[in-house]
Structure 1
Amino acid sequence: MAEHGNGDSSSAVVATGEGESGQYAIDNPGLPPHRPRLADVDEKAAKRSERQVSTLFLISIIGTVIFFVGYFAVGRMDAFEDYFEGMSALRVQNTLLGIGSALAMLGIGLGVVHWAKTLMPDHEVVEDRKPLRLEKDREEAEKIVNDVIDETQIKRRPLMRNTLIAAALLAPLPAVVMFRDLDRSEDFGVERMRHSLWSPGVRLVRDPTGTPIRAADVTVGSAMHVIPETLREIPGHGTRLSEKAKAVTLLMRLPMDDFQEPTPGRENWTHEGIIACSKVCTHVGCPVALYERHTHHLLCPCHQSTFDAADEFKVVFGPAGRPLPQLPISVDDEGFLIATSDFTEPVGPTYWERGHTDPEGDYPAS
């Protein structure tokens, strides 16, 4: 341990300002010498970099076009129904939307980065802070802006500038279209969600094969996804998907002894232990798809809302505010499962406005 005495220090560390000349112990080495890049000294290399940047911006433009093809053509044109069946068209559309969005954003990002690394000046600059002078500051700020514009070479390289402008203008359009399409009808709300394709006599069919289901073929403990048989009769891929989103249903068969006492008026909503409910969670609309056969619980994977199938799908855990809507079912003369009515309340999240009487008188006010 170093000892100090009589004002002398035996420390080996030289503090700032100490030393023979009052200098730093280690002199400031300053900025390293600038090493010019190939594009700085070779105009051909600079032109090549310009073409590369412009190509990346063009890729961004192509990505936006791919997005619109997937969004409008695959999703909206009936002609694609001849090539895609069922959910295949949806998968193609989602793939095009994802690839298009990725290319649109990635092209601009990589283009700007490559532009900065190969063409913009890369000198390191140290600038001392200066006292503020209003008029002088304005002139200096104007000079800085002009210097930045000159350094980007955007005036000298119109190909790169024009492709950047085109890509920047097109890239936000997919987001604008998607946000606009969140509500394509003036009457969007509870009335749109009150009714689905289920109606008296409509057969329950397997999703996605469309095979009708005999009650005798449903075993105890089984669960399956079903849709209305009439879903395939609706023209237009987009319309079918919209209706399917409201009509998707889970079908299960429980032992008869496990059911709780039904609410008055619901005694005939099941058939020999076979019961059906909406697949759309009443919390925020996620698909309920996990069935635990021993407890008869249905679990929503998004926020763990849990519903009891043996007790009219009431909430037993989680944030859901009401039970899953139950679909009344029976069998026809051939033994196939059919619906006896539509859902008796709107499907989907609880936050739908449900506080008024249905115009057709089908549902009571909530």
Structure 2
Amino acid sequence: MSDEKSNLPAVSGEHGHDSQVVLAEPIPDPGIEPHELRITDVDPKAADRVERQVSTMFGLAGLLFLGSCVAYFAIPRDSIVEFGPLSGNANNLTLGLCVGIGLFLIGAGAIQWAKKLMVDTEIAEDRHDAHSTPQQKTEIMDAFQVGVAESGFTRRKLIRRSLLASMGLLGLPAIVFLRDLGPLPGRSLYTTIWAKGIRVVNDVTLRPIKPSDLIVGQLVNAAPANLAPIEEESAVTYQNEKAKAAVIVVRIKPEEIRTPAGRENWGIDGILCYSKICTHVGCPISLYEQTTHHVLCPCHQSTFDLADGAKVVFGPAARPLPQLPLAVDSEGYLVAQSGFNEPVGASFWERG
């Protein structure tokens, strides 16, 4: 023992005296504590009682999901419920409570099932390499099958059937609630309020734009001059039309523009006009880099070259920005030669 201590490094003690550091032995592995059986492990009646509890939770969850679908149609959309000083929409409140409590019951039932009925024997496994050998893969699949058997999922039919029924009914609210996404767009994106002779106006000041108002390198967010004033009864229609008709107007040196065939007269002295709506999923764009003539969509980084027909140079967008042909009216203001010759917005429709 004295020889071992003589090889240890000396350290200065509290009063300056040298002393030896004694290294402690590693703590031995205590192992796994003896397994304690639960009441459901030794009493079949207790296990059956827990099974009924879990199945009841799953069953109630399914009824709540079904009830949310009924409430969606049965409760008027404008009905109000009041709780003292608080009030809210009765339809939304009922839907939220039904789906929320239903999801809670599925979670609570799963926890009760795992804690009281699934096998809870403690195990220990040594660390190993991340990759698995064929033998280990076989062992993993065997262990998975054992886990399925030990969970009681195949043996306890009441739990299995109630869980599958509740999870199946959970899909109903999702399908029904899709109705609130609004009507299908159909061919609504094929037409906008742009037409021949409609002036291009600044989308903030609503002032018409002359070619002399724009300098090289400038990009302006614009809109058609025939947008109707906002009225309460037509606010939704107004916003839809404004969103579809939003455009960007940019001025580029004419010698730097590569005009696509058939569009030779669509610009005015280097002034071009494109839809403001990204052709990927419909985000509004206007992040412009004047030196490259690229405009960037902030949502998914689709990049369009405005000097080359707004073709896609980067990102997930599948087609160029639609271009609006421009002209100048008798008073010198920018106007549209016609509407867009293709749909605006996200390219979700089938194209030939």
Judging by fraction of residues, say which structure has more strand. 2
TM-score between both structures, scaled by the size of structure 1: 0.48
TM-score scaled by structure 2? Answer: 0.50
